[in-house]
C-alpha cells in the first residue's frame, strides 16, 4: 500500500517527505516526523497503535487504514482526544466499498421483515493478508447486526473440513445454527493475489439477493487514503471517517 499511496501522492502534487517501515522505524526522529503535514499509516496491527500515538505526540495528523487492531479503538481514540490529535480511520478507503456500506445498512433494515431470507457475508483476499475476517467484512457484518432485527452478532465460520470455504453461507448445518443462535456467518477466503472481494447475500428457498464489490487493484484504496489526507488539511482535531469525507 505504501508504494501505491506514494504513486498517487506524487500524481496529485504532494511529496512523500518521510517513508517509515520496519527497517528504519527506530532511526526516524521526532524532528523528521514533525516536518510532515500528515502521516498515512498502512502497517500492521502489532505496531499501528504505537505509531499513531507517536504521531499524535508530535502534533502530526494521521490517516490510518491498518486493519486488525480495533479491539484497541477506544484506547487510541481516547489518546487522540487527550493529546488533541487528528485521526482519520477507514477499514476500507475505496469509495465504492463505502457506497456498499450504505446500501448494506439500508438492505438490512428492509430485510428485517422477511424471515425466509438468511444472510451471510463473504470476503476473498490475497494470501498475504494477515487478519481474517477483513476489517471491511467486519464493518459489513456490523452494518447488518445493527440494522437487522434477526441478527445480534456475527461469527467467522469454518467449513466442516476446517478450511475457510466460500460456500459456507449456503451450508445447511450452518444455516440451522445461524437460525438458532441468530448469528450472522462471515467467511474469509485467501486466494492468490486478489485485491479484495466482498459480498452480502440474502438467500431464501426460492431466490437470492446479493450486493458485491470487487476491487480491481489497490489504487482505489490508495486514492481514498490520499483524499482523506487532503481532507484533514485545515481541520481541527478530532476523529474522522469515510462518512465525513463522502459528505
Name the site residues for ligand NAD (rule: CB under 6 A): 1-2, 20-22, 25, 42-44, 47, 51, 65-68, 90-93, 129, 221
Segments of 9-72 assigned E as strands: 39-41, 62-64
Phi and psi of 74, rounded to 5°? -60, -45
Cβ-closest position to ligand NAD: 65
Which lies closer to ligand NAD via its Cβ, residue 61 or residue 65? 65
Name which of 69 and 120 has its Cβ closer to ligand NAD.
69
- Give the up-direction half-sphere exposure of residue 211: CA atoms within 13 A in the CB hemisphere: 19
* 44/147 with CB nearer ligand NAD: 44
Where on the phi/psi map is residue 134: left (φ > 0), alpha (ψ -120 to 50), or beta?
beta
For residues 206 and 246, what is the distance between their CA atoms, to the nearest angstrom?
36
Residues designated catalytic = 125, 129
Beta strands in the chain (DSSP E): 39-41, 62-64, 86-89, 118-125, 153-156, 183-190, 197-203, 208-214, 238-240
Q: CB 84 → ligand NAD: shortest distance, Å? A: 23
Closest distance of CB 107 from ligand NAD, Å: 22
CB of 217 to ligand NAD, least distance (A): 11
Cα separation, 246 vs 99, in Å, equals 9
Residue 200 CB, nearest approach to ligand NAD (Å):
18
The residue among 25 and 146 lying less far from ligand NAD, judged by its C-beta, is: 25
Amino acid at each position: 500500500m505504501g508504494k501505491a499511496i506514494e504513486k498517487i501522492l506524487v500524481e496529485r502534487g504532494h511529496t512523500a517527505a518521510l517513508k517509515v517501515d520496519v527497517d528504519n522505524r527506530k532511526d526516524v526522529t521526532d524532528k523528521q516526523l514533525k516536518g510532515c503535514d500528515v502521516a498515512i499509516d498502512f502497517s500492521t496491527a502489532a505496531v499501528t497503535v504505537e505509531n499513531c500515538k507517536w504521531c499524535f505526540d508530535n502534533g502530526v495528523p494521521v490517516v490510518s487504514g491498518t486493519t486488525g487492531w480495533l479491539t484497541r479503538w477506544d484506547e487510541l481514540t481516547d489518546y487522540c482526544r487527550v493529546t488533541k490529535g487528528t485521526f482519520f480511520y477507514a477499514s476500507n478507503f475505496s469509495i465504492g466499498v463505502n457506497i456498499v456500506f450504505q446500501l448494506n445498512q439500508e438492505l438490512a433494515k428492509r430485510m428485517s421483515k422477511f424471515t425466509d431470507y438468511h444472510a451471510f457475508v463473504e470476503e476473498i483476499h490475497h494470501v498475504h493478508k494477515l487478519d481474517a475476517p477483513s476489517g471491511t467484512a467486519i464493518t459489513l457484518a456490523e452494518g447488518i447486526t445493527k440494522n437487522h432485527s434477526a441478527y445480534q452478532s456475527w461469527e467467522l465460520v469454518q467449513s466442516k473440513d476446517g478450511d475457510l470455504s466460500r460456500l459456507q453461507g449456503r451450508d445447511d448445518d450452518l444455516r440451522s445454527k445461524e437460525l438458532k443462535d441468530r448469528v450472522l456467518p462471515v467467511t474469509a477466503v485467501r486466494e492468490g493475489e486478489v485485491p479484495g472481494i466482498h459480498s452480502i447475500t440474502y438467500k431464501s428457498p426460492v431466490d437470492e439477493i446479493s450486493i458485491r464489490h470487487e476491487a480491481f487493484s489497490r489504487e482505489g484504496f490508495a486514492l481514498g487514503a490520499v483524499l482523506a489526507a487532503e481532507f484533514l488539511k485545515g481541520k481541527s482535531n478530532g476523529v474522522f471517517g469515510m462518512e465525513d469525507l463522502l459528505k
